[in-house]
């Protein structure tokens, strides 16, 4: 996948020629080593981004809270993405963009840094939860195996 492929996927979604799910699938298919591609994509998108508060993004504090609380996250080393109910947010910790269905807005460096931290926190929490669930499943499997074996009567 190339930088142009990602940029085309964003543009197709914003023109209505592609789906948001297809764009998210393109982005999440990237590996950790592809972080420079995300950084380049952010750079290209910022070149044509709006600097004002008009657009698809939430306009109130409550709207942003709902958007961020409903987000899923993905990280690629030094870059991250938040997938909210209405917008996608890409950040490299210094620069970022809010992608709406019809527009792109640039983020300030301080907001970009905070959102990168949020991405990393969500991903770390998800990994910790997954590890805990796996450990619980292993323990359940061991307990069920030992219980069932102890219930078998020996042949005499």
pLDDT for res 138: 82
pLDDT for res 87: 94
Answering whether pTM is above 0.85, one says no
pLDDT for res 145: 63
How far from 52 is each of 7, 90, 107, CA to CA, in Å? 22, 17, 10
pLDDT in tens, 90-134: 999 999 999 999 999 999 999 999 999 999 999 999 888 888 888
Confirm if 74 and 123 have CB atoms less than 8 A apart: yes
Q: Which SS3 state, helix, strand or coil, does residue 107 take?
A: strand
On the question of pLDDT at 27 being above 60, the answer is yes
pLDDT for res 149: 58
On the question of pLDDT at 154 being above 80, the answer is no
Confirm if 41 and 1 have CB atoms less than 8 A apart: no
On the question of pLDDT at 75 being above 70, the answer is yes
Best CA proximity match to 56, nearest among 37, 84, 28: 84
Lowest mean pLDDT across 43-47, 54-58, 70-74, 76-80: 54-58
pLDDT for res 51: 73
């Amino acid at each position: 996948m190339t930088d142009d492929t990602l940029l085309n996927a964003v543009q197709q979604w914003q023109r209505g020629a592609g789906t948001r799910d297809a764009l998210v699938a393109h982005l999440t298919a990237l590996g950790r080593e592809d972080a420079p591609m995300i950084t380049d994509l952010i750079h290209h998108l910022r070149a044509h981004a709006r600097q004002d508060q008009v657009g698809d993004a939430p306009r109130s504090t409550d709207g942003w809270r709902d958007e961020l609380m409903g987000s899923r996250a993905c990280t690629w080393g030094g870059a991250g993405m938040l997938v909210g109910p209405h917008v996608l947010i890409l950040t490299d910790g210094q620069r970022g963009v809010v992608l709406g269905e019809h527009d792109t807005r640039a983020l300030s460096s301080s907001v970009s840094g905070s959102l990168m931290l949020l991405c990393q926190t969500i991903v770390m929490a998800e990994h910790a939860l997954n590890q805990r669930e796996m450990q619980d499943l292993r323990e359940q499997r061991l307990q069920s195996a030992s219980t069932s074996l102890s219930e078998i009567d020996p042949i005499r």
